Amino acid sequence: MSLEFLKALEEEKDTICAISTPIGKGAIGIVRTSGNKSLEILKRVFLPFKYKKEFENLKTKEEKEKFLKDIYKNFSFEPRKMYLGYFLDENLDFIDKVLCVYFKAPNSYTGEDLIEYHSHGGLYITQKILKTLLNLGLRLAKPGEFTKRAVLSGKMDLLQAESLNAFINAKSEIEGKLLFSTLEGNLSKKIKEIQEDILKIKAYSNALVDFPEDEIEILNEYDFEGELKKIIEKIENLLKTYEISQKLKTGIKVAIIGKPNVGKSSLLNTLLKKERAIVTDIPGTTRDVLEEEIVLKGIPLVLIDTAGIRETQDIVEKIGIERSLKSLKEADIILFILDASKKIEKEDLKLFEILKKEKIPISKVIFLLNKIDIASKENVENIKGNLKKEFGEQINILEISVKEQKNIDKLLDLIEEKVLNIDITSLENETFIVSERQKEILNKVKDALNRALKNLLEYSSPEFFDLELEEALSYLGELIGKVTYEDMLDKIFSNFCIGK
């Protein structure tokens, strides 16, 4: 073993401490410790409430130390029970009235003795408690170290740990529900099922290597190819969930496009329910792309107000238009606004051509005929006819008036319907992969299984077939955390907040 690895193992034996609640004002602050010295330190810094008067009458630090030792000769902390008392600093002076709770190993979050001190909130109090613990010999926890210890002690696997970090950072209701499913171990269960499926195939492949085929009749009947393809399909289905989980994490991109002065910025302000974009009658007011996040019915959206696309000599406006085109290509949903009070113009037609040139799926687009409060019915019908002629009968067209807030609710319903083109409520029972690491390793597993399939079909090589299965199992072990390395763990948990 390297000196670095041995040092890391020694660090795992340290008793660590950290503030687990956000820094700043708050009703309650929580400081936690984990390690084999946690209980010893608890008996040094915590004075049970009923002993306060006797303690206050003591004059010297030595008397106070002896008093605490005498108390704990006959007093023991019952695990998972809250105790009211006082937190004492290194000089045995009062810091705050607190509640403390003792989680005894191995029945704790980290699998070690773990103590939580619940004090009044605020920057000073929690920092003072933390400073006292550090002065008494505890070590400040590294980012994610509490959860890292939970993984190392077998309280959770790496998949659950990564889901926990994502869960803490969830921005919307639907993302939180999906991550909770993974946090509860549903993804781990699916990965273990894949492991078991591969092990079953491997048992038969080992028999192929060790015994002549004609001596084992069942081998001639076993469908290696079919079983392997089923596993590969399971992995591919899991990989598809990564894109969805990332969209729910970063927000589904909704680009608002149209010629200048058609109502794009007004629509953005309406959807945000605040004045974010400048609205004037002067074309070209929006000269850059504006992005704002909202949550629609539990779904995170990124609304993108683009600069009006038109011919211009203004250098700054040209740059804004180029960014608008980029946003158009990257968007998940496109709100294409046309002025219903005017006939289709040259600038509208240019946008039509861009949609076709970039091969943007028309299913992504919602055509909005704005200003119907001042538009003639005849002109509205003419625009609809031209759109259907240009893009087909199945396109989404909605008449709106941003000024009078007409059909805005219908627009929100239509956006919700289009999000990911799936029924969001059905996702709550799905299992998702949530990190780039998970995606990369699952791709390696799939590649190993595809190589195994090729060895089986093209080369009839049971030895190499078996080796590829072994490699796939090794990757799955790395994925779930059965095969771990210190640098890999540090990389994963460095993104966690301190105290978690």
328 Cβ neighbours under 8 A, 6+ residues apart: 255, 257, 306, 334, 354, 358, 360
Locate 26 and state its tokens. 């708050």
At residue 28, the pLDDT reads: 93
Evaluate whether 309 touches 341 at the Cβ level (below 8 Å). Answer: no
pLDDT score recorded for residue 381: 93
C-alpha dihedral, 485 to 491 to 497 to 500, nearest 10°: -10
Cβ–Cβ under 8 Å, residues 366 and 336: yes
Q: For 24, which DSSP code?
A: S
Q: Which CATH superfamily is domain 14-156 in?
A: Probable tRNA modification gtpase trme; domain 1 (3.30.1360.120)
- Residues whose CB is less than 8 angstroms from the CB of residue 94 and which lie 6 or more positions away in sequence, other chains included: 86, 87, 88
Could you list the pLDDT tens digit for every one of the 500 residues in the chain?
444 444 444 555 799 999 999 877 888 999 999 999 999 999 999 999 999 999 999 989 999 999 999 999 988 999 999 999 999 999 999 999 999 999 999 999 999 999 999 999 888 999 999 999 999 999 999 988 998 899 888 888 888 888 887 777 777 677 777 777 777 778 888 999 999 899 888 877 776 666 555 544 544 566 888 899 999 999 998 998 888 777 777 788 898 888 888 888 888 888 887 554 434 443 444 444 577 888 877 778 888 887 655 444 444 445 555 666 777 777 889 999 999 999 988 888 888 888 888 888 888 899 999 999 999 999 999 999 999 998 988 899 999 999 899 999 999 888 888 875 544 445 555 678 888 899 999 999 999 999 998 887 776 667 788 889 989 999 998 888 764 445 445 544 565 566 66
Q: What is the DSSP letter of 141?
A: P
Q: Which residue has the tokens 């080992």?
A: 206
Overall fold of domain 252-403 = Rossmann fold (3.40.50)
The span from the CA of 418 to the CA of 366, in Å, is 9
CATH architecture of the domain with range 173-244+433-480: Up-down Bundle (1.20)
Q: Locate tokens 């093209």: which residue?
A: 458
Distances (CA, A) of 431 to 156, 194, 426: 17, 14, 11
pLDDT of residue 66: 95
Does the pTM surpass 0.95? The reply is: no
SS (H, E, C) 197-252: HHHHHHHHHHHHHHCCHHHCHHHHHCCHHHHHHHHHHHHHHHHHHHHHHHHHHHCE
> What is the reported pLDDT for 277?
41
DSSP-derived letter for residue 35 is: S
> What is the three-class DSSP state of 171?
coil
| 22: preceding bond cis by omega (within 30 degrees) | no
pLDDT at residue 285, as a whole number? 42
Q: How high is the pLDDT of residue 283?
A: 44
Task: Report phi then psi at 290, rounded to 5.
Answer: -105, 135
**pLDDT at residue 425, as a whole number:** 46
Q: Domain map of the chain by residue range?
A: 14-156, 173-244+433-480, 252-403
Two domains, one topology: 14-156 and 252-403? no
**CB burial readout 77-102, b (16+ within 10 A) else e:** beeeeebebbbbbeebeebbebebbb
Q: Say if residues 327 and 304 touch (Cβ distance below 8 Å).
A: yes
